[in-house]
Chains A and B, each alone.
Chain A
Amino acid sequence: MASINKLERHQARMGYLFITPTMLLFAVFMVIPVVMALYLSFTNYDVLSTNDWVGLENYRRLIGDTLLWQTFVNVLFYAVVFVPFNILISLLLAMLLNKSKGGVKLFRTFYYLPTLTSAVAAATVWIWMLHPEYGLINGMLSYVGIAGPAWVSQTETAMISIILMTLWQSVGSNMIIYLAGLQGVPDYLYESARLDGASRFACFRYITWPQLRPTTFLVSILAIIGALQLFDQAFVLTQGGPANVTKTPVYLIYQQGFNQLQMGYASAQAFVLAMAILIFSLISMKLTKAEEPIV
């Protein structure tokens, strides 16, 4: 007995030792900053001169901060449109490119390319394409007799422009994730379904879709988190305008913290954002857990 205990102890010690570097980095760059931010959200920290405990003052101010809540509504609208389209388009692309025909690899590369371009460079090109008078998109619309809007400058279409651009940029990488998921679906399921005379749609509905549930969960969670943290595309394309419709919480937090030096209040705002991400992740987890994949 004693020797087994000793062995276990040795293994445990080694185990801790091996995970120490990772845990250390995790603690330094994740845990400590998060705890610090939580603490700062109860202070009037301004980086330079003050760091006093103000209790719930920052959180009281949050309630009346209409602009912050508007930015949450903005990203919520963004998420509601972006997440389903993101799943739909990347899944369709993945199913299209899941064949082993010649040239498929070329297309995979093409669809993945936008992911590799920098958001700022891509946004510059998109602004040009979306130009009301000389842009490609309104040019094409004018052939069919539609006078296109001033995409990025009008309140109705500004957020849609951002969604278009981020979709173009993100479906590539999600397509890769779906491709991996599709390759993991066992062939015998399709084989037996075909023997039973299942249609193509039935195969998708009862085999592919349920089998891909973990993949869909991953893709949608990443998309939701990405949506709540939307910043650079929105910043380059519209600078938060017009009329605040494309301002996002991250933009506001940055402005409050680094431009206005109200780090304490910015931390409180950031904490609300973190909570929102947590809640949406939990909801998404619940929804996906409801139906386990059949094996």
Chain B
Amino acid sequence: MRKGLMVTLVIVMLGALLAGCGGSNEGSQGSEGKDGKVQLTFWGDWGGEGQKQFETMVDAFNQSQDKIEVKYVLQQDMITKFLTAATSGGSPDVLFWDRWRTSLYAPKNVLRPIDEYMTRDGINAGDFYEESLKELTYNEQLYGLPLTVDARALFYNKKMFAEAGLEAPTNWDELEKAATALTKWNGNKLEVAGFSMADPGLFSMYLQQAGGQMLGEDGKTGFNSEQGKQVLKFWQRLLNDNKVYKVGFEEGLGEGNDAFVTGKVAMLYTGPWMMSTYNKYGKDLEYGIVPPPSGPKGDQGSVMGGFGLVIPQGSKHPEEAWEFIKWWTANKDNAMLWAKTSLNMPGFKPALEDDFFVADPLWKPFTETLEFAKTRPTHPGYSVMEENALIPSLELLQQNKQGIEGTLKKAQEQGDKLLADNAVVK
């Protein structure tokens, strides 16, 4: 009896505790403000400088009209927060969205399709890169608009190229020659790497340049192909025959000691996000940028990434949220304000045709690269496949512990399994 009583007591108290947990999320939900304005909550995970940039845009929007008031809320662990918010209320109205996540989240019905708004307001899909929209699409429904676009291009050290009498490479052969010429060894010690090969994750980019595909039409891996072999042969030539790089060379150098800044790497693939670091630390660094060199058959390739803005299903004011998204992403003046504030490339094409981008020799190569850059395949298991199957296998090849055939075969077998295991649950 006594025990029974205690158990009941414990259960009752527990219930009270749990109920307390559940109800606490309501407060953040936007609603009618005092002055009749609709209050919107905008979540993002950019703090510091990024937060200031977002707030500049939010303020500009709030001043541009008198019906909607947006508030930026910084969520360090945004995705995890969103998981709870989407199921228990307190969902934001606008979400800053890493586009590739769409293929995982859209099937779960937590994002709101915007197709009807697009048609109603006559937004031209042609004003955005087709690839960036593809990444925000699931089952032929569009779930948001691209806020930024980026792609990797080839950065090269102008001084080193001038000293060696070289021109920026335009194809694989020229890249190999330049890298070989610029590499300096001192006995066992690598002093200058001609070309950075630190990131085997860039395989997909090389594969595009060789004319290959990461995923086939059947939703399985497609890199175990002739083109895949060409890429790995190219890597082996660079790493083993010409020794233009040493595995681990750039590990842990940090921003101030960045190998490109300090002249220890002559060329590398990276994106516009690194330019501020190079400008800040590289006082003596003179660099140029060219679109990625083309492969053996002249194919060009780079991987397009970037962010978008989406409306969660839980938003109580989707109309107003759409107004905000449209104002920011589909208007040239506002997209330019965003570009100049944040030094990001806006997703809106007319803005990228502005002189700010086209007349600047550092931005122009990126706008050129975006013309042919492709986004990652929209499969919810794609990133796990790359991270857990493909890259580990490529690392073995880079360290000379596995041949070309074995590398691709192993990556394919494990990759196909991961893709199947992480496919959309029907």
Contact = CB atoms under 8 A, between A and B. Distances in A.
Q: How large is the interface on A (under 10, 10 to 19, 20 to 34, 35 or more residues)?
A: 35 or more
B13 to A, nearest CB: 6
A117 interface: no
A109 interface: no
A131 B109 contact: no
B425 A50 contact: yes
A70 to B, nearest CB: 10
Contacts of A243: 392-393, 395-396, 399, 401
A120 interface: no
A67 B410 CA distance: 13
A132 interface: yes
B251 A44 contact: no
B252 A127 contact: yes
B46 interface: no
B247 A24 contact: no
Given A28-B14, A155-B396, A243-B396, A127 B108 contact: no
Interface string A247-270: 100000001001111100000000
A241 interface: yes
Interface in B237-257: 246-249, 251-254
Q: Is the interface of B mostly helix, strand, loop or mixed?
A: helix
Given A27-B14, A260-B422, A153 B104 contact: no
Given A24-B13, A48-B110, A155 B425 contact: no
Contacts of A244: 388, 392
A154 interface: yes
Contact of B83 (A16, A47, A132): A47
B164 interface: no
Interface stretch (A144-152, A209-217, A271-279): A144-152
Given A24-B13, A48-B87, A261 B108 contact: yes
A94 interface: no
A134 to B, nearest CB: 8
A24 B10 contact: yes
Contact of B248 (A48, A49, A124, A151): A151
A28 B17 contact: yes
B414 interface: yes
Contacts of B2: 9, 12-13
Interface of A: 9, 12-13, 16, 20, 23-24, 27-28, 32, 44, 46-50, 61, 64, 66-67, 124, 127-128, 130-133, 147, 150-155, 241-244, 247, 255, 258-262
24 contacts: A16-B6, A27-B10, A28-B14, A28-B17, A46-B108, A48-B83, A64-B417, A66-B414, A128-B253, A132-B248, A132-B249, A133-B246, A151-B248, A152-B252, A153-B248, A242-B396, A242-B399, A243-B392, A243-B401, A244-B392, A259-B383, A260-B384, A261-B104, A262-B422
